[in-house]
Chain A
Amino acid sequence: MIELIGVYKNFGEKEVLRNVGMTIRKGEIFTLIGPSGTGKSTILRLINLLDVPTEGEIFFEGIDTSGPEKTRLQLRRRMSMVFQKPAALRGDVFDNIAAPLRFRKVPVEDIRKRVPEALELVGLSGYESRKASTLSGGEMQRVAIARAVVTRPEVLLLDEPTANLDPVSTEKVENLVHTINSRFGTTIILSTHDMDQGQRLAHRIAVVLSRTIGQTGTAHEIFYQPRNRDVAHMVGVENILEGMVKNNEEGLTIIDIEGYDIAATSDCPTGSRVTAYIRPEDLVLSTAEFPGSSLRNRFLGRITKVVAMGPMVKVRIDCGIRLISVITKRSFDELEIEEGGSVHVYFKASAVHVVRID
């Protein structure tokens, strides 16, 4: 549906995007995840043909978008974008939602029919004559979405659609994104800095890190098989260990990390240097010796730090190698452990994602 090839974007001297490449498929929800200021908005603006890439190509259904403004306008009219802070045009809600239809010279009778339909979709029926300036942030966001979908776009671009919203409004907007995608088959590209939201909404995710795409894949691939240290860090993989493969027998790999052995599953050959990624939720803590057999990795360590994070607790353990575990507050309380105490750490070989260092 949309393809970016080797896209660079500079604003004056400043490089904002570097060699961005990705393909968005028809009908999918595609999420750009990354911290603020990494270029997510710029990518969306380029796709919406509001800006022109400094270098590289963007194709919309195979059509080169670097053509004359007339072509760009025709393509732009097949998409809609909702900005992070939606701007209201002068006039009431009806005028705002009717604006894109008027630009497309849709007949007045159709406009009268389609505006209430769009408002109903976003759950704001009867808001037609409200002044846009009297709307709350969440209402304005939904009006902006109504304004975007009223044209029945093939592609809907959403820039941080819930960044400024309370949890209730956030849930409404997320449900709406699902509804629009499943009911109309609209291809949706949205940016967010919220990992969980990316996981909840997206069919596929692109991790945007410092001006380029770190990795593209399904949520599972991104969260459990990060391609490099930066992506791993971004998606909350706290245990990133470097070592050497000592032995590999039919996929069961033994990695030497600072003199300690870790069992993992991989196809990296003996002698190769690797990075091992372990999600903190995959570490099991216990005060007693654990007889279970599927947990190949067993360490005894000292708790160096305990940090409460809402319903979860982050526990740092020094087992010779330093590990970080995240467990629920409830299990933490049941374990009766504290800083300075000792604890057993267990994890499966399959919980270790191994990436070869070239």
Chain B
Amino acid sequence: MNDIIEGFTQAFQLIVTLNPEVMGITIRSLFISLSATFLASIIAIPLGGLIHFREFGGKKGLITVIQALYALPTVLAGLFVFLLISRSGPFGFLGLMFTPTGMIFGQMVLIIPLMIGMTLIALSGVRKNIQDTIVSLGADEFQSILTIIKEARFAILGGVILGFGRAISEVGAAMIIGGNIRGYTRILTTAIALETSQGNLPLSIALGLILLFIALIVTTILFLVQER
């Protein structure tokens, strides 16, 4: 019991004194996950739009696969990217293994299906009469997609935030691809895993609190967005 109280006390000290290691890990975590979320949005939202607006064979099947990938285990995303970028993989020459860029890649693989799925849900939430109105007003296909995405922007933003939440909290892919190198690829989740196993509880608790705080902010923003 004392260990726990002691742990929390030291953890608070680490946070309020802006301990360089804690801050470094936090900033790295945010940078990697925000980058992954941003890049994934650029791919997932237009792709979701295309799937929503185009009729093609196997559309239902594709959507089912995308939905199944919401629950893609993070270590599998890690393994998949590992196979691609490890030295012997097809993209091994890029030298992305054990780099933050590689981790961004891994998190993108993880959250793109979720964000495509959320985009699809958001777009099907735009009422048919709005879509008809846009087409009737003389929008070409590209303008229609853009305008309808604009109509659904809050719901889509909800999907983006959800994606960020999954990216920042995952540990499997970051561990496999990043390798948890101190000061380079060590992020909140991988640091907590390591420090806890090494018995460095105050640091773990401090990082855990920060992660919890980020999660809280994400949920709050999501709630506010959905209120709109």
B132 to chain A, nearest CB (A): 6
> Known: A76-B138, A90-B150, A151-B138. Contact between A103 and B133, CB under 8 A?
no
A162 in the interface, Cβ–Cβ < 8 Å?
no
Q: Which parts of B116-152 form the interface with A (CB within 8 Å)?
A: 127, 129-130, 132-141, 143, 147, 150-151
Find B127's partner among A80, A87, A90, A100 (CB 8 Å cutoff): A87
Q: Which parts of A92-106 form the interface with B (CB within 8 Å)?
A: 99-100, 103-104
Interface bits B15-51 vs A (CB < 8 Å: 1, else 0): 0000000000000000000000000000000000000
CA distance in complex: A45, B133 (Å): 11
Find A100's partner among B130, B132, B138, B150 (CB 8 Å cutoff): B138
Interface size on A, residues (CB 8 A): 21
Residue of A nearest to B148 (CB): A89
A50 in the interface, Cβ–Cβ < 8 Å?
yes
A48 in the interface, Cβ–Cβ < 8 Å?
yes
Q: Which parts of B155-197 form the interface with A (CB within 8 Å)?
A: none
CA distance in complex: A87, B127 (Å): 9
Find B135's partner among A50, A85, A86, A151 (CB 8 Å cutoff): A50
Q: How many A-B residue pairs have CB under 8 A?
A: 46
Asked if B141 and A69 sit within 8 Å, CB to CB, the answer is yes
Within 8 Å CB of A204, what residues of B? none
CA distance in complex: A80, B137 (Å): 7
Interface size on B, residues (CB 8 A): 17
Asked if A103 and B141 sit within 8 Å, CB to CB, the answer is no
A307 in the interface, Cβ–Cβ < 8 Å?
no
Asked if B140 and A73 sit within 8 Å, CB to CB, the answer is yes
Asked if A85 and B129 sit within 8 Å, CB to CB, the answer is yes
Q: Which parts of A8-53 form the interface with B (CB within 8 Å)?
A: 45, 48, 50
Residue of B nearest to A78 (CB): B138
The SS class assigned to the B binding surface is helix
CA distance in complex: A222, B140 (Å): 40
A77 in the interface, Cβ–Cβ < 8 Å?
yes
Asked if A104 and B132 sit within 8 Å, CB to CB, the answer is no
Within 8 Å CB of A151, what residues of B? 138
Asked if B129 and A99 sit within 8 Å, CB to CB, the answer is no
Residue of B nearest to A73 (CB): B140
A147 in the interface, Cβ–Cβ < 8 Å?
yes
CA distance in complex: A90, B143 (Å): 15
Find A89's partner among B138, B140, B141, B151 (CB 8 Å cutoff): B151
Find B138's partner among A69, A85, A104 (CB 8 Å cutoff): A104
Find A103's partner among B127, B129, B143, B151 (CB 8 Å cutoff): B143
Asked if B129 and A83 sit within 8 Å, CB to CB, the answer is yes
> Known: A69-B141, A87-B127. Contact between A81 and B151, CB under 8 A?
no
CA distance in complex: A86, B136 (Å): 12
Q: In the complex, which of the residues A50, A83, A89 has the most CB atoms of chain B within 10 Å of its own CB atom? A: A89
Asked if A90 and B151 sit within 8 Å, CB to CB, the answer is yes
Asked if A77 and B138 sit within 8 Å, CB to CB, the answer is yes
CA distance in complex: A65, B127 (Å): 26
CA distance in complex: A45, B132 (Å): 9
Residue of A nearest to B130 (CB): A87
> Known: A73-B138, A100-B138. Contact between A86 and B133, CB under 8 A?
yes
> Known: A87-B127, A89-B130. Contact between A100 and B137, CB under 8 A?
yes
Residue of A nearest to B128 (CB): A87
Residue of A nearest to B136 (CB): A81
Within 8 Å CB of B129, what residues of A? 83, 85, 87
Find B134's partner among A85, A86, A89 (CB 8 Å cutoff): A89
CA distance in complex: A104, B129 (Å): 21
Within 8 Å CB of A73, what residues of B? 138, 140
Within 8 Å CB of B138, what residues of A? 73, 76-77, 100, 103-104, 151
Asked if B136 and A89 sit within 8 Å, CB to CB, the answer is no
Asked if A89 and B133 sit within 8 Å, CB to CB, the answer is yes
> Known: A100-B137, A103-B138. Contact between A89 and B147, CB under 8 A?
yes
Asked if A48 and B136 sit within 8 Å, CB to CB, the answer is yes
Find B136's partner among A80, A85, A104 (CB 8 Å cutoff): A80
Within 8 Å CB of B136, what residues of A? 48, 50, 76, 80-81, 83
A27 to chain B, nearest CB (A): 22
Contacts A/B (CB < 8 Å), 12 sampled: A50-B132, A76-B136, A80-B136, A80-B137, A81-B136, A83-B133, A87-B132, A89-B134, A99-B147, A100-B138, A103-B138, A147-B137
3 closest Cβ pairs, A-B complex: A100-B137, A77-B138, A103-B139
**Apart from A50-B136, A76-B138, A103-B140, what are 5 other A-B pairs with CB-CB below 8 Å?**
A73-B140, A80-B137, A83-B133, A83-B136, A103-B137
